[in-house]
Structure 1
Amino acid sequence: MAAVDEVLVAYDGTPLSEKALAHALEVYSDASITVLHVIDYIEESYSAKALIGDETLRERARDQSAALLAEAEAKAVEHDREVTTASEVGKSADGIIEYAETHGIDVIVIGSHGRSGISRVLLGSVAETVMRRASLPVTVVR
């Protein structure tokens, strides 16, 4: 098995992404860990854009991302570790894969609800898309 030097943890502040971060901190104790939050503006509704404007939504999303990444840094400190943080804008799966492939990442760690059947079809699965399309190993934490 090849050495793992660089780990990317997809992080959105949900309990599953927190589990993914904890897993990475425990399992990859000698690796550098980057915590990535992908800002997806598509999640904002058209009515919100009409009411407060695109730039306000972007600023709010950047602020929320910074707060999430600060939480991740604090969780790493609880494990006596330091992490690097990053944020990207775009669709979650695309942002995770692109970041990993352009930053020399060895392993992606991501949380998943483990949905199946119609709920997966309707809601989609970022973890499944990352697993299917990434050119490097992906660890899914449930």
Structure 2
Amino acid sequence: MIKKLLVPTDFSEQADQAFEVACQLAKRYNAQLHLIHLIEFPHTILESVTGTQRFEPPEALFFLKMAQKSFQELKSQPCAKGIEIIEMVKFNNIYQGILDYAKSESIDTIIMGSHGTSGFEELFIGSNTEKIVRHATRPVLVIKKQHIHFKVKTLVFATDLDDDNVKPLKKAFEFAEAEEATLKLVYINTPDRFETTEKITSLFETFSAKINKTINDFEIYNDLKVERGIMNYAKNLNADLIAIGTHGRKGLAHFFNGSLSEDLVNHAKRPVLTFKI
């Protein structure tokens, strides 16, 4: 059950869209909503003895007051009425600050906005949302546009039927049940990793036995690439949400092999929910 939601915000349009969805979910689950604003302050002085941080007072005070003003504007929105909202400003590296806060406060789900990037900008710059998806141990819900009425009726979970997808799928089922949504399990069959229907069916039978749950909606979908196949399958179903397990790959392996979950975060038009494998 979702009891604590975290929305990292830079007060951008994308972050506001995530906040609006978070408010709807907070009301639905009677959950506490945490807002965090991270400032990568250039003049931070690390105290080697205490481990605490000091800041140049005038600049720090200015950024703090600006953040508090923006927090008040968010909390005054109609969608936030009746919700317990906790706000926090941290002078820290953005994505590490989010991960640390989520752990310390036992956050159930992180909700973030993203407009996506492509090409060299995506490869060399990346986004904080990507980094959170890559490293977060909590589920991360990525919102791509405004949802005045956010309701998940159909959820697509993409899987390669490997054992490391068992735990993420169980979590996805829990979310689907809470939302009273239909979960569609899909295996994307591509030319570069083609398997026969007989082989995939055998993999599915072995995999589903480990879920301890009857899976009625399983399909094999053929496409040129896995990412494209997931998005096309979700489009054909008019699915409300794409869910996937994610590996926290780092270093050269990330750049050479890519990360499917991060690609979906960047390119999918639908919301994406990731679960750490």
Structure 2 length-normalised TM: 0.44
C-alpha change, 1:64 and 1:4, in structure 2 (3 Å) is same
Q: AA paired with 1:81? A: G
Superposed, which structure 2 residues align to 1:1-142 within 5 Å?
Answer: 3-29=1-27, 30-42=30-42, 54-75=56-77, 78-79=78-79, 80-82=81-83, 83-142=85-144
Q: Which structure has the higher relative contact order (CA within 8 Å, separation 6+)? A: 1
Q: CA deviation at 1:122?
A: 4.0
Give me the whole-angstrom Cα distance separating, in 2, the residues matched to 1:36 and 1:124: 21
Q: Is the 8 A contact 2:14 2:113 kept in 1?
A: yes
C-alpha distance in 2 between matches for 1:122 and 1:64: 30
Q: AA paired with 1:18? A: D
* Identical positions, percent: 23
Alpha-carbon distance in structure 1 between the residues aligned to 2:40 and 2:112: 17
Structure 1 residue 86: Cα displacement? 1.1
Q: Distance in 1 between matches of 2:82 and 2:111?
A: 17
Runs of 4 or more consecutive aligned structure 1 residues displaced over 6 Å after TM superposition = none
Counterpart Cα distance in 1 of 2:66 and 2:20? 21
Checking the alignment, whether the CA contact within 8 Å between 1:36 and 1:85 is kept in structure 2 is: yes
Between Structure 1 and Structure 2, the one with more helix by share is 1
User: How many residue pairs align between the two structures?
Assistant: 129
The CA distance in 1 between the partners of 2:123 and 2:57, in whole Å, is 32
CA distance in 1, matches of 2:104, 2:129: 19
Structure 2: gaps of 5 or more residues: 44-54, 145-277
Hey, what's the Cα distance between the residues in 1 that align with 2:40 and 2:68?
14
Mapped partners of 2:143, 2:60: distance in 1: 30
Could you tell me whether the CA contact under 8 Å between 1:35 and 1:72 is conserved in 2? no
How far did residue 27 of structure 1 move?
2.5
Q: Which moved more, 1:110-119 or 1:128-137?
A: 110-119
What is the letter of the counterpart of residue 95 of structure 1? G
Structure 1 residue 81, shift from structure 2 partner: 2.8
Bigger CA radius of gyration: 2
SS in 2 for 1:41: coil
Residue ranges of structure 1 left out of the alignment (5+ in a row): 44-52
For normalisation by structure 1, the TM-score amounts to: 0.83
Match of 1:48 in 2: none
Q: CA deviation at 1:96?
A: 0.8
- Secondary structure of residue in 2 paired with 1:20: helix
Q: Tell me the alpha carbon deviations over residues 73-96 of structure 1, each in whole angstroms, 9 at most, x when there is no partner.
A: 112xx1223311111111111111
C-alpha separation between the residues in 1 aligned to 2:71 and 2:123? Answer: 29
How far did residue 61 of structure 1 move?
Answer: 1.1
